[in-house]
């Protein structure tokens, strides 16, 4: 093998398992008018007129990350679910699970993040939503 070639080994599970497991907990987004899910590999994307929600699996460390993008004036901030949840006063970061290295911990992380997002979305759609996104932009 050439020194320039890179071998990518999936450490935890195949991408189809992530997609399959992600569909049910986040299906409420479709009920709220979000289009999707779109995506490939370890990423699903839901889009509405106001926000987009990206659910991503980082195979490097077995972590589920949910990112919300919206608008605030002329900006389009992107912020992590956990920062937004805490900044909105919904609870501590420890309420949201991230690690999904096995089937059961993946399900737990996805359900935890979907539940947190369900609580957060009404706040993001309110008057303080844009400022929360700006506050947590990049976090």
pLDDT classification of 20: cutoffs 50, 70, 90? confident
CA pair distance 130, 2, nearest whole angstrom: 49
∠ CA 9-58-139, nearest 5°, is 155
pLDDT of 56-108, one tens digit each?
Answer: 998 888 899 999 999 888 889 999 999 999 999 999 999 999 998 888 899 99
- Could you tell me the residue ranges of all domains in the chain? 15-136
Tokens of 84: 């937004």
Q: pLDDT value at position 59?
A: 83
């Amino acid at each position: 093998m050439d020194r320039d070639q890179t071998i990518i080994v999936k450490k935890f599970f195949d991408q189809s398992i992530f997609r399959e497991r992600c569909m049910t907990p986040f299906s409420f987004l479709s009920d709220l008018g979000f289009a999707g899910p779109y995506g490939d590999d370890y990423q699903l994307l839901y889009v509405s007129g106001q926000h987009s929600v990206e659910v991503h699996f980082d195979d490097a460390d077995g972590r589920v990350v949910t990112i919300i993008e919206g608008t605030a004036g002329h900006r389009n901030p992107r912020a992590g679910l956990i920062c937004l949840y805490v900044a909105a006063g919904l609870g501590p970061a420890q309420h949201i699970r991230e690690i999904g290295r096995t089937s059961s911990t993946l399900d737990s992380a996805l359900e935890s993040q979907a539940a947190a997002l369900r609580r957060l979305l009404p706040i993001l759609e309110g008057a303080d939503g844009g400022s929360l996104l700006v506050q947590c932009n990049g976090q």
